[in-house]
Amino acid sequence: MSDPHDAGKDRPQRWDRRRSLGAGLGGAIVLGVVLLLVVGLTNQTVSTSVVDALEAGKRPSAPAFSLPVLIPGGGVGPVDATVSLGSLAGRPVVLNFWASWCPPCQAEAPILERVWERYRARGVLIMGLDTQDVREDGVRFAHDYETTYPSVRDGSDRVRDAYGLTGLPETYLIDAQGRVALHIAGPITQLEQLTVPLEDLLAEGAGAPPKGRP
């Protein structure tokens, strides 16, 4: 028969072992948290987003995409034909992310149409990109606001995420070499928001329309 006093002697030893294990686990958790914080801080300083590159004074390559045409125009089409950003190389592109349910998108559509009418003959392409929307509503939007510039449709968030959108509308000015030259967060409320940077791009000699395009 075991002596109860001997069992009592084992309790402090077991408690010490448990306390040591607990301390070890706690230390590992703390170390893991510290590592996560270090990684997070490192990622913040090593960013490859389009907007961060622009803020650093660079012209990053515009994220590529291939999407079906929702509204044809300007040599882009017909409806449902797949158009890639790469196929538009050689001309400045104003890429405008929009949706039919977005009131600011509705307000800026006439301005975009005016820019399109003014610059299309000089090789500039206004390209709408309908996202997070119902196809029929997007088509109705173009009809209601009498927009004639082309639009493609993104049925997922893939292109939206690639450009790092935080809301709608947002607009990216892409030069003839396929690089992002300007980002406009929020609605375009004045012609000068686009006409001034477009004139700068055209002055660089990048705005001559490719042969066979309007």
11 pLDDT more than 60: no
pLDDT tens digits, one per residue of 172-207: 999 999 999 999 999 999 999 999 999 999 998 643
What's the pLDDT score for residue 121?
97
Q: Would the pTM of this model clear 0.85, i.e. be above it?
A: no
Contacts of 134 (CB under 8 A, 6+ apart): 100
Mean pLDDT taken over the chain? 82
Q: What is the DSSP letter of 208?
A: P
Contacts of 195 (CB under 8 A, 6+ apart): 115, 118, 119
Reported confidence tier of residue 157, pLDDT bands at 50, 70, 90:
confident
Q: Which of 33-42, 67-76, 96-105 has the lowest mean pLDDT?
A: 33-42
- Is the bond preceding residue 78 a cis peptide, omega within 30 degrees? yes
